[in-house]
Structure 1
Amino acid sequence: GIATFNKKCQGIQCFFKSCFLFLLFVVLVCFVAATLRTLTFDVNAGLQLAHWEKTNNIASDINQHQRNELLENFREAIRIPTMSTTKTQLNITALGEFDSLLRKVFPTVFSSHLVQHEVVANYSHLFWVPGSDLALVPYMLLAHIDVVPADENDGWEAPPFSAKEMDGFIYGRGTIDNKQSVMVSDQSVEIIGLQGAMNIVKVLKKKGVQLAFILDEGLAVLDGVISGLQGPAALIGISEKGKATVKLSVFKAPGHSSMPPRESSIGILAGAVKRLEDNPMPILFGEGPERRTFEHLAHRFGLPIKFVMSNMWLFSPLIGRVMERSPDTNAFLRTTTAVTMFNSGVKVNVLPSLAEAYVNLRIHPAQTVQEVLEFIQSTVGDERVKIELVDGFDPLPVSSYDETSFGFQTIKKTLLDQFPQVTVAPGLCIGNTDSRHYTDLTKDIYRFTPTWIRPGDTQRFHGINERISKENYEELVVFYFNLIQNCDIKELPSPHSAGHEL
């Protein structure tokens, strides 16, 4: 009996030893594979192109007179308070002033027979510049004139519509969202559009227009913003999150506060809101375009971050857990849930019959509006809470960004010619842009402006002390000036390992 028992013990020990050795072997193989990938992984390896077909671009030299003029024109644009609070509540007077400004400072654009101009829905401008080969598919540059409201009493260092210059920066609402793009794109053509966007789409559809690509606002050049990254990174948005506004409401019979029920409409709704905040949407990191962002930037990190970033197949869950700790990075991992409005009650001694809350959700590319609604229904888990979709749309399609992508590669080439120290990577826009209305006109929409964003600048978007440096504004003019010329080719050069690297 003892001999048999010993044999069984030896067999069990042998089994566990075999399992341990097998697991050790698997870990060793994974480590070797991850190490090799870290040492050899270069996501840009397939993105080298032969020399650009067009090399005789007009030089973008800006003399002192032009520099002073374009900066003053920009200041004039910032001083006009083209604020909008909703799609229909617009400052009509300011929009009229802005129209006059554009016509004054860009006379060539408005008078040249080479530029076709059309005013759409009273305030939006559509410019069409035909090329020498009308058989080629056109591209489109987008920018919006309106800005979000701003109040000097919120803590601005300079009045938000003063365009005041301080320490080499121009302060004002619209300096980085998005009047800089409006002015520099027109300025570039001079040297060589909310509701408006939807109306422009209708005009182009009616004309049967199809576009090679669209470049709109979105991401930027991040300098010192990504911890551990060596050098600045230019993130070109290749998609943007979806959006949904959901209303939660609870109805109960009204009554006097001296005889309250065990649960009020406010209490029931507050419980539902608390459950939504305590149970965020699942982490979906690695299932959308954000994975490619990290892979493109991996070689610009030092160890051990480079090791982790180069092996997303192994470390995605770990990265997700780390990134969810900060609101800034959590937004890239999942569909975010923000309770933005809560309304109830009309008098201190009256039990309200109605309590309402509005939830704003920004939907990860791996989810849909319907899936988000089902998650909310399951999480709230209370039939007394009515759940309604006010409005929403699914995440936008992912635009191409490989070596055959005309739009992405042209933007990338223009960037690297001007800023060779920058690492270019595809990115995900967590906010929404007007370009989402144009998906029927093109399959490639890019969201990027070469505005340099440094630590602390992200809070300036829709916040206080929005600003742009004079140097960066001039760089934007040069970027668009060169981009327009770089697009003046019939097709991308054929990929060639020894050629001109984008």
Structure 2
Amino acid sequence: MAGSLACVRALATVLLLGLATVSRSMNLQGKESQEASRIPSQFSSQERVAMKEALKDAIKIPTVSFGPEEFNTTALAEFGEFIQKAFPTVFKTSFIQHEAVGSYSHLFTVRGSDPSLQPYLLMAHIDVVPAPQEGWEVPPFSGLERDGFIYGRGTLDNKNSVMAILQALELLLVRNYVPRRSFYIALGHDEEVSGKYGAQKISALLQSRGVQLAFLVDEGSFILDGFIPSLKNPFAIIAVSEKGSINLNLQVNMAPGHSSAPPEETSIGILAAAVSRLEQSPLPNMFGDGPLKTTLQLLANELPFPTNIVLNNLWLFRPLVSRLLERNYITNAFVRTTTAATMFNAGIKANVIPPMAQATINFRIHPAQTVQEVLELVKKILADDRVQMHVTGAFDPLPISPSDEQAFGYQLLRHTIQSIFPEVNIVGPGICIGNTDSRHYTNLTSNIYRFNPVYLNPQDFSSIHGLNEKISVQAYHTQVKFMFELIQDADTYQGPVPHLHEL
């Protein structure tokens, strides 16, 4: 009996060793096969010139969204024709289907060779905000190149992503790339004014086809450089949620009269005081658990003494850190619901007491709050029944997408970031303080990630929707390279890969 058991054990050991050897051999062969079939992200000088020229041409098309129903439709139509000429291989490849949605948005379905792999979505938007000529170093729709930078509205928000995604796919296709994992490219034309006719319709179309996504990647965060003075190295933030929003109209009505005999208070005075109370009474600091705390803890060891001690012990120093964060207008936006008075309208004539005054306040809601909670706080701050509140648009913050070791989309992005930007030691989760088209896709996936593979410093941040928006030629080339690698990484990355839903 003992001898038989010994023989069985010996045989089992041999079998296990044999299986391990075979397994290692198969893994090595699989890895070698993947590496052999991988297309290197090396571009010729002619391709690099073509890349930047295509971006410059895209910037020259003024695809401006002026308001919810006001678009430069001529420019949007021109842009649709332009991308067909700029990326001919994308449009003529048999396994890629292109559809115009809502007249001016674009949906590309790229069919992979393995239908068992759940598809993903890459997103960007075509439209830009208005850009008055005043204050710009070059005309905002000139696409001029100066000192290694391409200037113009949309170079950071967000035609750079539109062009980088399509450019990367074009370069892969001309190198005979065939994807394993299917994916979609969604290019919205009205993101700057809510995405009602673009992203919302694309999402509804995909839902009608029964599509569920492994993950999606949209704009909304960057590689941050220079935002923390004592931090030498840049760090990348993948936004795993985004703030909600309220557009609140405040209105005061009073009897009109002659300015020669004014009442003690006018509609303008009452409303101005109400707006001032809102500005002087910031909503609660919500710093605590969540993505920001996680990222600060990741950054702790990159910072000098005593900052590293403070961030490694947030259980003790959280009140101090929260006060420090709210001192800077950018980091303040990460820790609370922000209040911005954006429009003020009153008066009909210089010598007439105005019968009505109106103001619009835009709130960006922290993920720890809701629309209803913010409105209740605002009403308490106003504390004046003469000031009427009318919500003209609102939505709650998005749920927080997973960023743990099992989150395939997040880990895939992290892997590609660290491959393309080896100087970036820290990749952490964060919150997008603006709003993106990605919020229209919560019906298709709970794995929504916002990341733009571009370095951003505080000056660049102020140029988004501001003056002298620009991107360096090198940064754009790197962005194309990132998308080129990310698309291939989605085929080969060894992580907790979902397998569902044929296209």
1:80 equivalent to 2:61? Answer: yes
Pairwise CA distance, 1:493: 6.0
Amino acid at match of 2:155: T
Instruction: Spell out the pairing of 1:52-67 with structure 2 (5 A cutoff).
Output: 54-56=34-36, 57-67=38-48
Q: Could you say which residue in structure 2 is the equivalent of 1:378? A: 380
Alpha-carbon distance in 2 for matches of 1:461, 1:483: 25
User: Aligned to 1:239, which of 211, 218, 241?
Assistant: 241
- Superposition pairs of residues 245-256 of structure 1, within 5 angstroms: 245-256=247-258
Letter in 2 for 1:166: R
Matched, 1:149 2:149: no
- Kept after mapping to 2: 8 A contact 1:406/1:491: no
- Say which is worse superposed, 213-222 or 382-391, in terms of deviation: 382-391
Amino acid in the other structure paired with 1:167:
D
CA spacing shift, 1:272–1:288, aligned 2, 3 Å: farther
1:251-274 per-residue CA deviation (whole Å, 9 max, x = no partner) reads 112222233222222222222112
Residue 452 of structure 1 pairs with residue 432 of structure 2: no
Instruction: Give the TM-score taking structure 2 as reference length.
Output: 0.85
- Calculate percent identity across the aligned residue pairs: 52
Counterpart among 347, 354, 357 of residue 356 in structure 2: 354
| Counterpart for residue 419 of structure 1 | 421
| Among candidates 312, 319, 322, match of residue 320 of structure 1 | 322
Q: How does 1:271-350 map to 2 (within 5 A)?
A: 271-350=273-352
Q: Secondary structure at the match of 2:198?
A: helix
Contact 1:256 1:349 in 2 (8 A): yes
The structural deviation recorded for 1:311 is 1.6
Matching of residue 467 in structure 1 with residue 448 in structure 2:
no
Q: Which residue of 2 aligns with 1:183?
A: 163
- For the Cα contact (< 8 Å) 1:452–1:472, is it kept in 2? yes
Distance 2:428 2:270 in 1: 46
- Tell me if structure 2 keeps the 8 A contact 1:71–1:470: yes
**Correspondence for 1:7:** none
Name the residue aligned to 1:438: 441
Specify the SS of the correspondent of 2:214.
Answer: coil
CA offsets 1:161-216 (integer angstroms, 9 cap, x no match): 11111111111111111111111111111122223111111111111111111100
What are the Cα deviations for residues 11-30 of structure 1, in whole angstroms up to 9, with x where unaligned?
xxxxxxxxxxxxxxxxxxxx
Check whether the contact 1:288–1:366 (CA below 8 A) recurs between aligned residues: no
Which residue of structure 2 lines up, in the alignment, with residue 106 of structure 1?
A: 87
The whole-number CA distance in structure 1 between the counterparts of 2:102 and 2:146 is 37
SS at match of 2:318: helix
Letter of the 1:168 partner, please give it.
G
* Counterpart secondary structure, 2:298: helix
Unaligned 5+ segments in structure 2 are 1-26, 173-187, 191-196, 498-503
Shift of 1:476: 0.7
1:458-502 CA-to-partner distances (Å, cap 9, x unmatched) read: 1111111111111111111110011001101486169xxxxxxxx
Residue type of the alignment partner of 2:223: V
Structure 1 stretch displaced more, 479-488 or 317-326: 317-326
Aligned-partner residue type, residue 262 of structure 1: E
Q: State whether residues 257 and 350 of structure 1, in contact with CA within 8 Å, keep that contact through their aligned partners in structure 2.
A: yes
* Shift of residue 83, structure 1, vs aligned partner: 1.1
Residue deviations 1:88-133 (CA, integer Å, cap 9, x gap): 2111111121111110111111111110111111111100111111
Q: Matched residue of 2:304: which SS?
A: coil
**Helix, strand or coil: the match of 1:487?**
helix
Cα distance between partner residues in 2 of 1:414 and 1:308 = 31
> Offset at 1:151?
2.1
1:339-363 CA distances to partner (integer Å, 9 max, x unpaired)? Answer: 1111111012211221111111011
Range with bigger deviation, 455-464 or 105-114: 455-464
Report the alpha carbon displacement of residue 70 of structure 1 after superposing the two structures with TM: 1.4
Provide Cα deviations, 1:284-308, integer angstroms capped at 9, x if missing partner: 1124422122122222111111111
Distance 2:276 2:452 in 1: 38
Question: What is the count of residue pairs matched by the alignment?
Answer: 444
CA distance in 2, matches of 1:202, 1:297: 39
1:367: how far off?
0.6
Is the CA contact 2:407–2:496 (under 8 Å) kept in the aligned structure 1?
A: no
Secondary structure, aligned partner of 2:206: helix
* 1:437-460 C-alpha deviation (Å, 9 max, x unpaired): 111110011111111113411111
AA partner of residue 142 (structure 1): M
Matches within 5 A, 1:157-236: 157-192=137-172, 193=188, 194=190, 195-236=197-238
Partner of 1:407: 409
Aligned to 1:38: none
| Inter-partner Cα distance in structure 2 for 1:174 and 1:340 | 22
* Alignment check: 8 A CA contact 2:408 2:496 kept: no
SS of aligned partner of 2:375: helix
Of 393, 396, 399, the residue aligned with 2:398 is 396
Report the counterpart of residue 76 of structure 2 in structure 1: 95
Letter in 2 for 1:82: T
For the residues of structure 1 that align with 2:127 and 2:433, how far apart are their CA atoms? Answer: 20
Distance 1:467 1:341 in 2: 27
Does the CA-based 8 Å contact 1:143-1:178 persist in structure 2?
A: yes
- SS in structure 1 of the partner of residue 336 of structure 2: coil
Q: Secondary structure of the equivalent of 1:210? A: coil
Residue aligning to 1:24: none
Structure with larger RCO (C-alpha < 8 A, sep 6+): 1
1:380-407 per-residue CA deviation (whole Å, 9 max, x = no partner) reads 1111111121111111111111111110
Q: Secondary structure at the match of 1:388?
A: strand
C-alpha spacing 1:336/1:209, structure 2 compared with 1 (3 Å): same
CA–CA distance in 1 between the matches of 2:440 and 2:373?
Answer: 22
Q: Distance in 1 between matches of 2:338 and 2:285?
A: 10
2:265 and 2:52 mapped to 1: Cα distance?
Answer: 61
Partner Cα separation in structure 1 for residue 253 and residue 232 of structure 2: 55
